[in-house]
Amino acid sequence: MINQFFAYILQGTSVTVAVTLVALPLGLILGLLFALIYNYGGFWVSRFAAVYSLVMRGVPPIALLFILYFLLSGQMVNLSPFWAGSISLGIISSAYQMEILRGALQAVGEGQMIAARAIGMTRLQAIRYIIIPQAIRLAIPPWSNEASIVLKDSSLVYAIGVPEILRRAQQLSATTQQPFLAFGAAALIYFVLVFLVNRGLDLLAEKTKLPASMA
């Protein structure tokens, strides 16, 4: 019976992984866009990016989820609970990823931009070929942290009817009155997922690491 229960909770993993696989890249694309706008855009667009970040980091994910799913979805586009959930999480994550990337872009330094412009690169070429490749390297460690957070926050989609790991654990806890077993199983699965993500990104960081200064 315990095996069966564990299998039931485990089935939620695909939802958790799928939500994360949508939310995280979406957050990365939006976050990078806003970070670039913030760092290199004009006064007003840069203000806009700052306000976006402030608002999205202030909104509880569940509130955005409800607004998107219950209020907006169905008016213009019809979003399934899965997509509404993944997109809301992606939007919230984009604000945090923006902050990570913003810092990383700044850390690359003004000199790299000047040197790139000096050989005739356009601003966009400089950002794409010189600034971003260096910023991404700097961003991997904090980004790994954000990936774990999104992975765990993905459980929120249960609120609109997507049965992921945590919701399944709740159901079994209610049925069996064995919360430690049910939530323990959920925690174990999350731990494995987070471990894999962090390990993977560590490897990536190791692989893309630039040689240290000979000092």
Partner 1 sequence: MKKITWLISLIVLVSLLLTACGGGAQSHLEKIKQAGVIKVGTSADYPPFEYVDENGNKAGFDIELMEEIAKRMGVKVEWVDMPFDSLIAGVQEGKIDCSISAFNYTEERDKVVDFSEAYYTAEDAFLVAETFTGSITKPEDVAQYKVGVQSGTTQDDWLTNVLQIPEQNLSRYDRADQAALDLKSGRIDVMMADAIPAKALAQKIGGLKIVYTGVLSSGPMNIVLPDGDTELAQAINDILKQLQQEGFIDQLAQKYFTE
Partner 2 sequence: MTDSPYILQAKNLTKIYGENVIFKDISLDVKKGETIVIIGPSGTGKSTLLRCLNLLTPVNSGQIFLEGEEITAHGVDHDQVRQKIGMVFQNFLLFNHLTALGNVMIGLTKVKKMPTEKAKQKALHELERVGLADRAHHYPAQLSGGQQQRVAIARALAMDPLVMLFDEPTSALDPELIGEVLGVMEQLAHEHMTMLVVTHEMGFAREVADRIIFMEKGRIVEQGSPEELFEHPQHARTREFLGKISELYGKKEKK
Residue 134 near partner 2 by CB under 8 A: yes
Q: How far is CA 128 from CA 53, 105, 122, 157, in A?
A: 22, 11, 10, 34
The residue range among 25-33, 55-63, 122-130, 162-170 that interacts with partner 2, by the rule CB under 8 A, is 122-130
Residue 159 near partner 1 by CB under 8 A: yes
Q: Which is nearer to partner 2, 89 or 116 (CB)?
A: 116
Contacts with partner 1, 162-181, as mask; x by CB under 8 A: -x---xx-xxxxxx-x-x--
CA torsion through residues 149, 150, 151, 156, sign: positive
Q: Which of partner 2, partner 1, none interacts with 173 (beta carbon under 5 to 8 A by kind)?
A: partner 1
Residue 8 near partner 1 by CB under 8 A: yes
Q: Is 126 within 8 Å of 116 (Cβ atoms)?
A: yes
Q: For partner 2, which residue of 13, 48, 82, 137 counts as binding (CB under 8 A)?
A: 137
The residue range among 18-26, 50-58, 62-70, 99-107 that interacts with partner 1, by the rule CB under 8 A, is 62-70
As a whole number of angstroms, the distance between CA 140 and CA 43 comes to: 28
As a whole number of angstroms, the distance between CA 164 and CA 86 comes to: 12
> Hey, what's the torsion of the CAs at 50, 73, 166, 2, to 10 degrees?
-160
As a whole number of angstroms, the distance between CA 120 and CA 138 comes to: 26
As a whole number of angstroms, the distance between CA 26 and CA 22 comes to: 6
Q: How many residues does the chain have?
A: 215
As a whole number of angstroms, the distance between CA 93 and CA 149 comes to: 9
Residue 119 near partner 2 by CB under 8 A: yes
Give the binding-site size for partner 2 (rule: CB under 8 A).
22
* Site residues, partner 2 (CB under 8 A): 111-112, 114-122, 125, 129-130, 133-134, 137, 210-214
* Site residues, partner 1 (CB under 8 A): 1, 4-5, 7-8, 11, 66, 69-71, 74, 76, 81, 158-161, 163, 167-168, 170-175, 177, 179
